[in-house]
Structure 1
C-alpha cells in the first residue's frame, strides 16, 4: 500500500520489476598527466603534474539536475555496480560531486534505451526520465590509491612557488607535503622527486610549462 502511495505522489510510471546486480569489477590503472613533451598552462592552485594509481570506474553522468513532481535527480556521476539483460545498474548516489542519495531507492538502472530508472527496496522499477545523461569512464580513488602532484602557488619577483603533495586513499599525507621556491633567473628548468618541467612563462596568476619528465615511469 505504501509503495503504491509513494509512486502515486511522485507521479512515477511503474515499469515492472528489476533486481540490482553487483557483478561489475573496477580496473586499477596507472595515470600520468599531462603527457611528457606537452605544453600546458596552470593557474594558481591548479595541479601542474599528477601521477598515481587509481581505479577506473564506469559511471553514468548527469550534467544537469532534473526535477519532476517531488523527485529530484542531482547532477553528477553514478558509479556502476553491475549489469544484466535489462541494462546497467548504478549506485543510488551521485558519488561526485556531493554524494546526494535517493531515499528508499536501492539502485539506479539505465536501460538499453537510456531510460533513467529507480529500483526501490521492493524491486519495483520506475522510469520517468530518458536521455538525461551518458555513460563515461572516470578515475576514482580507493583504499589502494596513491597520488603525487605538483601545484602552482604563484610568483614573487623572479621566484615561483610550487607545492608538492602526496595523497593516499584520497587523503593528504601531511608528512609528505612540501612547498618549494625556484628562482627563474638561475634556471628555467625546475624539478622535484624526479619530475622535470621547463618554465616557458610565469606570473602571479598562471604558469606555462613543458613537461620533460614525470615523477617516475608508469608501467
Structure 2
C-alpha cells in the first residue's frame, strides 16, 4: 500500500553570505533614499516658495527718475500711486542696437499683479510693437482726458500706449483694467502737471473697450 501523505514543502536555504549581501543592499538603498530626502528638504528650506510679497521692493521711483533725468533728456514719469502699490525696479536703459533708450519701471499692484511702465522719446514702431508683444490694436481707453491705444491678444499681456508729444509711454502686463487705469491716471496727472512736451497725438483705434 502506497503512502499518500503530502510531501512537506522544501524551504529554500540562503547561504549566510548571500543573506548578508541582500541585507546590505536593502540598508544601502534605504540610506540612499534618506540622503536624497534630506538634500531635497535642505533645498526647499534654503529656497522658500516665492510669494507676491517676495517681489516687493522698497524702490523710491521718484528719486531714481530724478537721477535719470539728466541722461534721459526729460523727467521720466514716476506717478504717485495708492497704498498697496510698490515698485520692484526702476532704471534707465541706454539705447541698444535698436537705437531706443527708455525709462523702465516695474509695478506690483495692490492686487499682486504686475504692470511695466516704459517711456521713451526715441521710440519707433518696431520698438513699440516689441514692447507690446506684437499685439494688434483692439481699441482705446480714455483715462483722465487722454486716449490710450489698447493692444491685446488672447493668452497674452495687454498694453496701453500713449503718444504724448515726442514721448511714448507704454503700460504692459497681466493686471486688470482697473489697475491699468490707476497707473495710467497717475502718469497722466504728472504729464498734465508739466511732463514731457504736453500733447495728445495718440492714434485712434478701431473699437473702444
Q: Is the structural similarity TM-score above 0.5? A: no
Higher helix share: 2
Higher strand share: 1
Structure showing greater Rg: 2
Q: TM-score, normalised by structure 2?
A: 0.24
Q: TM-score, normalised by structure 1?
A: 0.23
Higher normalized contact order (CA 8 Å, seq sep 6+, divided by chain length) = 1
